[in-house]
Amino acid sequence: MSTVAASRVATTTAPAALTAGARQVVADYVTLTKPKVQSLLLLTTVTTMYVAGDPSLSLVLWTVLGGSLASGGAGAVNHWYDRDIDAQMARTATRPVAAGRIAPRSALTFGIALAALSFVQLSLTVNVLSAALALCGFLGYVFVYTVWLKRSTPQNIVIGGAAGAVPPLVAWAAVTGRVELEALYLFAIVFYWTPPHFWALSLLMKDDYARVGVPMMPVVRGETETRQLIVLYTVLLVALTLMPVVFGYFGLIYGAVAALLGGWFISLSLRLWREAERRSALRTYLFSLAYLALLFCAMVLDARL
């Protein structure tokens, strides 16, 4: 190849390499915010807003943005703090910080900046109460769950799950300016949903958690007790989802959907209890995602009709 031809190839490939590198950096920073986790949290935010009242589109968008910034910041700090164990687990070894593509300090700075921006943005465009609640969710996930509970107790996801249940409170406060009993019901539903949802996943990831010394329920108490606890919490969850119907907060549409989904969830958890198979755990985990999404959508349908 001539010198001129080689120069042309180098000139062509250099911008392409830079573009690919920039795309990778952007993708890694997006990954820090845990977008898959955020999607369900934001769905509970939007649906709760339409249950609480008749918000404008701009209010919904500003609230979603603020919630996304807060939860994204919490995710980034979690990536920073858990980089040591993430590097040893098959599911998380390729995460940006664990894999060395993003410096730990950069991830920490990014997470704190997102949380601060969330508080300022929500305070200016929504209200201070929503901003404070979103900040509480960030602090709860970072300090209560990630730093304190995750590596110290098998109850980590039970207590720490409160952080993931904050979005309905943020949404309700955004529309009404208050936190009312109905909002606390929605908070409790997400709170009780979290253990059976996450324990089903932890059954699939038991060996990884055991390898890095994270005391998830299957590691500490064993798979049999974990499956029993999934049944217990699922029954409590279903009972809780029907209470708003009893007290008149929701009507027959929501009640029918809640009963149908709840019966299905209980049947899956009972099957998981009887069958110590990865397939049953995966089926329960995946259904739990659809369960929460459909339940909150049913709330909106009931409130509107």
Q: Where are the domains of the chain?
A: 21-179, 181-305
Q: Which residue, among 169, 296, 170, 179, has the nearest Cα to 244 in the 3D structure? A: 296
Q: Which residue, among 50, 17, 66, has the nearest Cα to 301 in the 3D structure? A: 50
What's the token pair of residue 56? 């404008």
How far are the Cα atoms of 82, 115, 194, 203 from residue 228, in angstroms, in the given order? Answer: 29, 37, 15, 12
d(CA 153, CA 156): 5
Mean pLDDT by 10 residues, the chain (305 residues): 52 66 92 94 97 97 98 98 95 95 97 98 98 97 96 92 95 97 95 97 94 95 96 98 90 96 98 92 97 98 91
Question: Which one-letter amino acid corresponds to residue 244?
Answer: P
Cα end-to-end span (Å), the chain: 73
**Res 13: pLDDT:** 62
d(CA 210, CA 10): 48
**Res 126: pLDDT:** 98
Question: Which one-letter amino acid corresponds to residue 217?
Answer: M
**Res 249: pLDDT:** 86
According to the CATH classification, is domain 21-179 in 1.10.357.140?
A: yes
d(CA 59, CA 52): 13
Q: The whole model's pTM is what?
A: 0.92
**Res 21: pLDDT:** 79
What angle is formed at CA 267 by the lines to CA 265 and CA 272, rounded to 5 degrees? Answer: 95
What's the token pair of residue 10? 């180098």
Token pair 């198979």 in the structure block, residue: 277
**Res 17: pLDDT:** 66
CB atoms within 10 A of CB 123: 17
d(CA 167, CA 47): 10
**Res 231: pLDDT:** 98
**Res 297: pLDDT:** 97
